Structure 1
């Protein structure tokens, strides 16, 4: 019987649709940011040591990591045919060995061990020592695998590796397998549908009745800056939530959690979007720049820690929505009333509760939500806080209507009181939809798509314009 040569698989980008070095880095940031950054800075030029230290900081669920289905199918068929399937990776040995065990692959693994970074020529040398020249087939995904392919009997190339074309020119047997990523998936990771929340930047302009191009154009640019800033934070949030997303029934399909976009691409996109946001903000004015920085810092704090803290996460969500309103005032250089800020904050508290109510209603078990501090038993408390938010916002709206500033901007006070009815109806409806799980995971995004709710808001806004005398000012009579 002729010995069958082993099939050797690279791990990062080949067997897996992700990179375990970056997985451990982001898992570490979520678990212990200080230790992770310290290890990264201390071992930046020693990748083998960096990989070992990051692997020790935070436990990594290797069983949840996304696999390349075509490579995994090849490995399964090879095993069923009695062929040894071996993992050879530059990732840390502890992770590679666990991955091999979980998928029933060979106990023999080749990996970095804290002393040697098993990549390129080092990996080729280790495999030749074990199996001899042309004694194995090898699957890889990058130019770093060229030295290994040169020593293998057959080269299996995952994705597009331009430098691997030289192997074909040399008459080597090259097999191409699916891999890589698509820009459309990166755009999805930026969540452009969430940009609709930045219409909140118009709120200060509307409240101040400043309907002129000199105010509108800077606010539109402000929305561009905030959209870029928000997308950069969404990417960071997804990278910090990889494990939690993979355990979620729908979030597991997000681009980074599913491996559709490499983590390193996300990191580059984050940097580019952050630079764009801060550049546009600085070009508008330094006050707006400061607000954008505050938003990004608060969002990062939320992603790193605050979202895991009961009630603090809801208050932070409300603050992030409120910052958008302040940003619109800063971009358009509009004076924002303290009454307005005090009024909208409890509204956003209510919507933050709605967000959590929706998640808990749609949850499949009574356990706490992954990466959150709430379980189904908290639904009653969330409903109560949402009710307090509604009551608080309505009370503040009434007090504003009888204040000096309120009477100046809205002379017909009784019509402003009538506007409180549809406004309250809208808030109560949002809470009930969240309670029964009838809306999107983000209430602001849902609100912008909800035709009935938009109708209620338009009635509220129309009554406020009537109370301000704007209809007669615009259309006469």
Structure 2
């Protein structure tokens, strides 16, 4: 065993952890007590030590699940194997730092903010020098504010801060540099661009009204851009609120914020930028579209904060969010959305909302309720029944629509419209069956856009509807 007993002191946020415990606590608290967290943050914004202590009282975070920097973790384990003490020193609240130290088997001695002193920079340096003396410890940090501590340390371990590492090396300090940074590619993954396929729903009003001119197409595409940015901003919020639940999930644990591949701070900045740009585009499309997208954003935030944890309410909200995309398509293009169409698509989305939950339950490994959700495996039967009711209701409304004044005008050969019910029913039943068997992705709309057999059924349905409308004769003579 090595005779070197110099303690190894680790900063926490961004050094040992790939995340920041203040932000972790903020978002955990926001999911538990939104108003309390907002009031506390505003009241103690200029008192970081008090703010951290108050937020720690509102929400308990699972420090054992937080992602660590593997190279720093390996150095800590090697130091302990040599008989050296590994100590955490952080500006985070002491209650959380102590728990993190216990989770990883580090020393019970920790240095942290205590509700009065924000232990950062010079304050942390002074505390460590008082305990171990100048050059009496090695220190691992990750940002320029750690420079006073590195100056007092025997050796410096610098995580993801090349400029500080260069400065210390020039000053003659022994330095070990560990690369650690996020990439734009990881941030793009957090935006979930694959989910943008849902926004093809904005084309439905124009499709139903047979408005295929370039002007209408351009307006809908602009609306899709605004909705895509708004959706990405909500995905960021949803992921930040679900950090702990995602880390417990077999697949979602790889999401960028849960895995620590993108800092929470970057996510918050990106959310603000996307929201501003989305609303700016929406405003250019007129007050009706702006109103729809504002309702979508507010309802999505309510869903992320509370509604997704409420049984059956969550499915109704999901169906509403999908339906709002169709209403937005009408508002962007200026094409009137048929009341029958809106009544038709809502039960379709109710069925698909049930499919989403059935897929999650079918892929679950236990009968316990899903993390952050109100369902467990015993609810599969009820979800299947509601999905069935949604399917039957949608088909019935489609049939009733064929007798409406609009249908008589748009579809001269209505018996072919009735024939289109067959592939439509086959598609809906296929979606329900695959969801119940757990053979889908976690999002049924995304799955539907990739499912070749399902897409074939949809194309047959649309083909029959176009034929019933006489569009082929109009296009091809």
Normalised TM-score (structure 1): 0.99
Tell me the residue number matched to 2:8. 7
CA distance in 2, matches of 1:344, 1:37: 37
Tell me the residue number matched to 2:34. 33
CA distance in 2, matches of 1:36, 1:428: 44
Tell me the residue number matched to 2:88. 87
Cα displacement (A) at 1:439: 0.9
Aligned length: 476
Tell me the residue number matched to 2:184. 183
Matched residue SS, 1:449: coil
Report 1:317-396 matches (<5 A): 317-396=318-397
CA distance in 2, matches of 1:344, 1:359: 23
Matched residue SS, 2:88: strand
Tell me the residue number matched to 1:265. 266
Q: Any stretches of 5+ residues in structure 1 without a counterpart?
A: none
Deviations 1:29-57 (A, max 9, x none): 00111111111011000000000010110
Tell me the residue number matched to 2:296. 295
CA distance in 1, matches of 2:214, 2:161: 49
Deviations 1:254-298 (A, max 9, x none): 000011111001000101111111111111212111111111111
- Residues 347, 391 of structure 2: 8 Å contact kept: yes
Tell me the residue number matched to 1:438. 439
Tell me the residue number matched to 1:279. 280
Cα displacement (A) at 1:178: 2.7
Tell me the residue number matched to 1:206. 207
Tell me the residue number matched to 2:126. 125
CA distance in 2, matches of 1:128, 1:357: 57
Tell me the residue number matched to 1:453. 454
Cα displacement (A) at 1:163: 3.5
- Residues 165, 177 of structure 2: 8 Å contact kept: no
Deviations 1:146-201 (A, max 9, x none): 11111111110001342342111111111101312111110000001001110111
Tell me the residue number matched to 1:468. 469
CA distance in 1, matches of 2:53, 2:374: 31
Tell me the residue number matched to 1:407. 408
CA distance in 1, matches of 2:285, 2:175: 54
Tell me the residue number matched to 1:51. 52
Question: Runs in 1 of length 4+ with deviation above 6 angstroms?
Answer: none
Cα displacement (A) at 1:413: 1.1
Tell me the residue number matched to 2:25. 24
CA distance in 2, matches of 1:178, 1:378: 47
Deviations 1:378-403 (A, max 9, x none): 00000000000011001111111011
Tell me the residue number matched to 1:141. 142
Deviations 1:421-460 (A, max 9, x none): 1001000000000011111000000000011110100000
Tell me the residue number matched to 1:237. 238
- Residues 143, 164 of structure 1: 8 Å contact kept: no
Matched residue SS, 1:104: coil
CA distance in 1, matches of 2:385, 2:429: 12
- Residues 19, 66 of structure 2: 8 Å contact kept: yes
Do the aligned partners of residues 182 and 138 (structure 1) sit closer, same or farther apart at CA in structure 2, a change above 3 Å counting?
Answer: same
Determine if the alignment matches structure 1 residue 172 to structure 2 residue 173: yes
CA distance in 1, matches of 2:29, 2:36: 8
Cα displacement (A) at 1:110: 0.1
CA distance in 1, matches of 2:173, 2:17: 25
Cα displacement (A) at 1:4: 1.9
C-alpha RMSD over aligned residues: 0.9
Cα displacement (A) at 1:2: 5.6
Matched residue SS, 2:156: strand
CA distance in 1, matches of 2:3, 2:244: 44
Cα displacement (A) at 1:58: 1.2
- Residues 158, 164 of structure 2: 8 Å contact kept: no
Cα displacement (A) at 1:214: 1.2
Tell me the residue number matched to 1:76. 77
- Residues 240, 303 of structure 1: 8 Å contact kept: yes
Tell me the residue number matched to 1:419. 420
Q: Any stretches of 5+ residues in structure 2 without a counterpart?
A: none
Do the aligned partners of residues 108 and 176 (structure 1) sit closer, same or farther apart at CA in structure 2, a change above 3 Å counting?
Answer: same
